[in-house]
Amino acid sequence: MRESTMYPKSRGIKVLLVQPHDEAASQQLFRTPESISNLVRVKPVVNQTASFYQDFSALEKLGYYSDCLVNINAYCEKSIGSRDELYDAGIYDVPEGDRHIRVNLMLNLMLLTATFYSKNNPKLLMVISKNLPNDTEFARVVGALQSRGIKVLLVQPHDEAASQQLFRTPESISNLVRVKPVVNQTASFYQDFSVPTTYVDAPKTGVFWDAQDSPLPNHLDPESIFQSIKSALEGKGYFAYISIWVYADEKITFSNELLNEYRKSDIYFLPKVPGDKNLRYDRMLHDIFLWEIDTPGGHAGPSNMF
HEC string of the chain equals CHHHHHHHHHCCCCCCEECCCCHHHHHHCCCCCHHHHCCEEECCCCCHHHHHHHHHHHHHHCCCCCCCCCCEEEEECCCCCCHHHHHHCCEEEEECCCHHHHHHHHHHHHHHHHHHHHCCCCCEEEEECCCHHHCHHHHHHHHHHHHCCCEEEEECCCCHHHHHHCCCCCHHHHCCEEECCCCCCCCCCCCCCCCCCCCCCCCEEEEEEECCCCCCCCCCCHHHHHHHHHHHHHHCCCCCEEEEEEECCCCCCCCHHHHHHHHHCCEEECCCCCCCHHHHHHHHHHHHHHHHHHCCCCCCCCCEEC
Q: What is the mean pLDDT of residues 172-186?
A: 59
Report which of residues 233 and 251 the model is more confident about.
Answer: 233
| Residue 54's pLDDT band (cuts 50, 70, 90) | low
Per-residue model confidence as pLDDT tens digits over 184-214? 544 455 688 988 888 888 889 999 999 888 8
Can you give the pLDDT at residue 15? 62
Predicted confidence at residue 79, as pLDDT, reads 80
pLDDT, position 70: 65
Question: What pLDDT was estimated at residue 48?
Answer: 41
The answer to whether the predicted template modeling score (pTM) of the entire model surpasses 0.95 is no
Decide: residue 273, CB within 10 A, 0-12 exposed, 13-18 middle, 19+ buried: buried
User: What pLDDT is recorded for position 299?
Assistant: 66
What are phi and psi for residue 210, nearest 5 degrees? Answer: -85, 90
Give mean pLDDT, residues 30-53. 56
> What is residue 107's predicted lDDT score, i.e. its pLDDT?
93
Contact assessment for residue 96 and residue 77, using Cβ atoms and an 8 Å cutoff: yes
pLDDT digit string (tens) for 101-122?
888 999 999 998 888 765 556 5
pLDDT class of 267 with cuts at 50, 70, 90: very high
Pairing of strands 151-155, 177-179: antiparallel
Residue 12 pLDDT grade (very low, low, confident, very high; cuts 50, 70, 90): low
Q: For residue 203, what pLDDT is reported?
A: 86
Predicted confidence (pLDDT) at residue 242 exceeds the cutoff of 80? yes
Averaged pLDDT, 155-175: 76
Average pLDDT, the chain: 77
